[in-house]
Structure 1
Amino acid sequence: MAHRKARAAQYLAAGFLLASFSWAPSTFVSGPRRPERCRRSATSALVPDDAEVVLEDAEVEAAAGHQHCCTMVYLHGFSRCGPEYLPKGRLGFCMPWVPGGDRARGLRAVLPTASCLRQPWGETGTSWYGYAAPNHNRVGDAESLRATRRRLDSMVHAEVERLGDGRRLFLGGASQGCVMALDVYIRLAVELRLGGFVGSVGFVPTDSKGFTGADRALRCLLADSEQAVRPLWLQCAMDDFDAVPWRSVVAPSLRRAEGLPGLQIRQVAGRGHGIEDWEAHIVNDLLRAHAAYAYA
């Protein structure tokens, strides 16, 4: 309980809001750090120099002596890689598959790495899909998105078969990985009865952003009263003005999902797009609330 109380105090100090989604005005207090201005660039990402490492997928099995009872498929952001989320990786933080007080001992983590793609502005890096432009979040390469969808859909189906129960599989991710994982969740949740979703600094994918079929899939999810109550948690950086801007990208996308009873929005500020360990906190909080059995 001590670590949870400490986290609650940190949230209050940093200005967290966690509540069912509402369009009523909200206030928050910025954290101690000044907002960062971000650009979509692989040069700012802390990725390994070895290309073979960058392209590796990673997995973390349930802790020794504990039965696998829950899976999290978690996707990295643009120009990052799955192994960065391993226990000794730069993005491991206090994720629930990392040894320590937040370890969910029955959890298996699947941490895939995106393919290397050349973007229209000449940059090459790991990416779940090709962008339309460096300052735009729209999909610009439809075939790259289709290929990623096929790959991730197959992965999720295999994990559900392995578990024997879709309700024990959760999807999540950060930045571009948040958007991609949410696209997968929205399209497969009704069919596979998935457990839920948790992501940070992303937005709800829509047809207008190049995610063909996402609008229809979201309508199906909204119409399924049982699946619609499953948790869909998003952590949004209110002071992200460039990478995934709140006002122009995130907020408009959320209007399409505001009818979901399971939708919860956590608004944060003080770190810009690079929210660091806050990314891990919301993942832990969702699993403790909706997969407590994984901590037994």
Structure 2
Amino acid sequence: MASTSMPPKRRGSASGFRAYVAKRLRAGRQILNVVCQRCTLRNASGALRCAACDAALANWTCWTCTLINTPAADCCAACETPRKSAQARPLHSSVPYSDANSVVLSPQLDLAPRASLVFLHGFCNTAEMYSESEVFTLFRCQGLRVILPTAPLQRITAHGGQKQNAWYDYLTDHDGAQEDDIDDGSLHATRRRLNMIVDAEAALMGEHRKVLLGGASQGCCAAFDAFARHPARLGGFVGFVGHPLKTTPLQSSLQRDVPCFFFNAAADDTMRTQWVLPAIRRLAAAGWTRVNVEVADGADHGTSDELENHWMDSFLAQFFASL
């Protein structure tokens, strides 16, 4: 287990680049000037082809090996697939399964997707919490596609039957002192829904190992349950301020040698590290070999955007390096 404090924001850092990219994209502006690599003409913002020589201006992604090639390349530098071959089809020709209550964040800069991350929000929240977040921006500029489902409204037994957006029903409320009992039926419904989304994303990506699962708080717990039980080997898991549920089977999982990152907060009163960290350590005892745990000093359950950016970057940087 590693203990980390939040690094300072530096000029020119990944955090600063993310903010710059997000600001310009929200304003509908291009990230870079559009300069033709063939004749060097500076074209108008948003141009797809050069006004002087008709050369393509945008980088393109090979659909055979996913290498990002320069605009001047007529075939892939890695596998020599022709740019205009049948495999180099536009992204919009592939229509994945559409979850009716999900937000989809496509890769930035018109890149073809290289990997998909299905990420679940916390208890009482919705997908909108992350739909405008900068947490994914840096890697969306490298081909990350993000799926943000919203949990259904359901009655919470421990809260007197009050309806909340939740991935499963809480039967008890121990106020953070220990893990609560939950309703298996509502968790099963979430798992079934996530399996459909994951399998559809795997069909779009070409393989399950390019699909990642993750979530925050209750979303972390529900996502890890679906991750551990999935019948195909996935690409990885990332969880914020959450833990494996005590009802999630561990020893029979196909994910035991897949990278799993848990990021927790030392001052968390909602999911206290006194019992959360032992819950995560059960993974090693069950034969999980690639579990990473970090605890942020001074942070509580309501983590900052900057801290979540740092956590997500740590996870995705290692995953993208393996592609």
Q: CA deviation at 1:289?
A: 1.2
1:255 aligned residue: 281
Q: What whole-Å deviation, never above 9, does each CA across 1:183-214 have from its counterpart, x for those lacking one?
A: 111111xx32210001110011222xxxxxx2
- Is 2:201 the counterpart of 1:151? no
SS at match of 2:227: helix
1:271 aligned partner: 299
Q: CA deviation at 1:102?
A: 5.4
Structure 2 residue identity aligned to 1:58: V
Cα offset for 1:293? 7.7
Structure 1 runs (4+) deviating above 6 angstroms are none
Identify if the C-alpha distance between structure 1 residues 66 and 257 changes in structure 2 by more than 3 Å, giving closer, same or farther.
Answer: same
TM-score normalised by L of structure 1: 0.69
CA contact (8 A) 2:173 2:180 kept: no
Of residues 170-179 and 135-144 in structure 1, the stretch that sits farther from structure 2 once superposed is 135-144
Residue 318 (structure 2) pairs with residue 289 (structure 1): yes
Which ranges in structure 2 are unaligned for 5 or more consecutive residues? 1-9, 18-99
1:16-61 Cα shifts (integer Å, max 9, x gaps): xxxxxxxxxxxxxxxxxxxxxxxxxxxxxxxxxxxxxxx9421111
Pick aligned residue for 1:240 from 261, 265, 268: 268
Determine which of 129, 147, 154 is the counterpart of 1:110.
Answer: 147
Task: Give aligned-pair identity as a percent.
Answer: 32
Which of 193, 196, 206 is the equivalent residue of 2:236?
196
Give the secondary-structure state (helix, strand or coil) at the position aligned to 1:239.
Answer: coil
- Provide the secondary structure at the position in 2 that maps to 1:138: coil
Structure with greater Cα Rg: 2
1:71: Cα distance to partner?
0.3
Q: What does 1:82-97 align with in structure 2 at a 5 Å threshold?
A: 82-87=127-132, 92=133, 94-96=134-136
Counterpart of 1:132 in 2: which secondary structure? coil
Report the aligned-residue RMSD: 2.4
For 1:293 and 1:68, the matched residues in 2 are separated by 15
Correspondence 1:132-171 to 2 at 5 A: 132-135=171-174, 137-171=179-213
What is the rounded CA distance, in whole Å, between the counterparts of 2:182 and 2:313 in structure 1?
33
1:133, 1:284 → 2: CA distance? 34
Alignment partner for residue 125 of structure 1, among 157, 164, 179? 164
Q: Post-superposition shift, 1:229?
A: 3.2
Q: Which amino acid aligns with 1:247?
A: Q
Distance 1:238 1:5 in 2: 23
Match of 2:102 among 34, 45, 57: 57
> Which residue number corresponds to residue 217 of structure 2?
175
CA separation in 2, counterparts of 1:4 and 1:63?
16
Q: Distance in 1 between matches of 2:105 and 2:113?
A: 11
Deviation at 1:257, TM superposition (A): 0.5
Between the aligned partners of 1:254 and 1:143, the Cα distance in structure 2 is: 23
Q: Is contact 1:95–1:103 with CA below 8 Å preserved after alignment? A: no
Could you say what secondary structure the match of 2:303 adopts? coil
Number of aligned residues: 223
Question: Is the contact between residue 129 and residue 139 of structure 1 (CA under 8 Å) also seen in structure 2?
Answer: no
Shift of 1:153: 1.3
CA 1:292/1:67 → structure 2, altered by over 3 Å: closer, same or farther?
Answer: farther
Distance 1:4 1:69 in 2: 20
Larger relative helix fraction: 1
Displacement of 1:63? 1.8
User: Can you give the 5+ residue segments of structure 1 that lack an aligned partner in the other structure?
Assistant: 8-54, 208-213
Q: Which of 1 and 2 has higher RCO (CA within 8 Å, sep 6+)?
A: 1
| Alpha-carbon spacing, 1:65–1:180, altered in 2? closer, same or farther (3 Å) | same
**Residues 103 and 239 (structure 1 numbering): CA distance in 2 closer, same or farther, change over 3 Å?**
same
Distance 2:257 2:190 in 1: 27
How many angstroms apart in 2 are the aligned matches of 1:5 and 1:184? Answer: 30
